[in-house]
Structure formats: structure tokens, C-alpha cells
Amino acid sequence: MAGLSPGLVKAFKAEAAITKRRIVKFGATDTAALLGAASTDLLIGVSTEIDSAILENCDVIMSGIAEVEYGGTIARGAKLTSDATGRAIAAAPGAGVNAQVIGIAMVSGVVGDIGSLAVSPSVMQG
């Protein structure tokens, strides 16, 4: 693994339970967060190694290197987005479709692996 090397870590309020090492998106308010649920969500970072219950603080790694759970087969260097449960999957938008990218895979892996991700939110068009 490339290892954990977080840059900016910001606390948000969990609007629902947030699992550790999952991709996170904005919640309904400026101070809230939820698990990412689709490649079209406005993704902001990765939750740390601690689960957060509803209304608890949730620390989100917004830059640097984060550890994230993979939701599919990932090749090192792939641009990553969120599956329906906040796990990282390779971004592969259809023609003319935009996908929110949370960052780039630092290591290859498969479903359930914990891999390193260089957090660098962007948009990818198919």
C-alpha cells in the first residue's frame, strides 16, 4: 500500500451512519455529510478509519492520500468514483455523461480491499 498521508481533514455532521474508509458527499446542509451513492454525487473526500453514527462528527479526508474500500477490480492509476455504498470503483461514464471523480488509485485491488487513493476531486466526461 502507498500508505495514509492525509492533508486537509474536516469534520462534518453525519446525516446518516458513515462507514469508515468510504467516499463521502455533501449532505443537505453546509456542515453535513453522507456516504457517496453514485458517480453523479458531489463527492468531497473519504471518511477516516472510524465509523460515524447518525449526528456524530465524521472526519473527512479532503486532500492527500486516503485509504478507501474498493467496490470492484481497480487498476493502479484508475480514476475513482463512488458505488451505491460509498466504496471506490473505476469511473467509466457513458458517452456525454459526467462522472464525479474523487481521486486516483495508488494501488491495484479487488472488491473489499483497502487501497490508497490520491484525493483530487474532479469531473470526467465519457
Q: What is the pLDDT of residues 63-118, one digit of tens each?
A: 999 999 999 999 999 999 999 999 999 999 999 999 999 999 999 999 999 999 99
Q: How many domains are there within the chain?
A: 1
Pairing of β 23-26 and β 32-35: antiparallel
As a whole-number percent, the residues of the chain with pLDDT over 90 amount to 94
Per-residue confidence band for 18, with pLDDT thresholds at 50, 70 and 90: very high
Residue 108: which domain range? 1-126
- CA–CA distance, 61 with 46 (Å, rounded to integer): 5
Say yes or no to pLDDT of 39 above 90.
yes
Query: Residues 54, 107: contact at Cβ < 8 Å?
Result: no
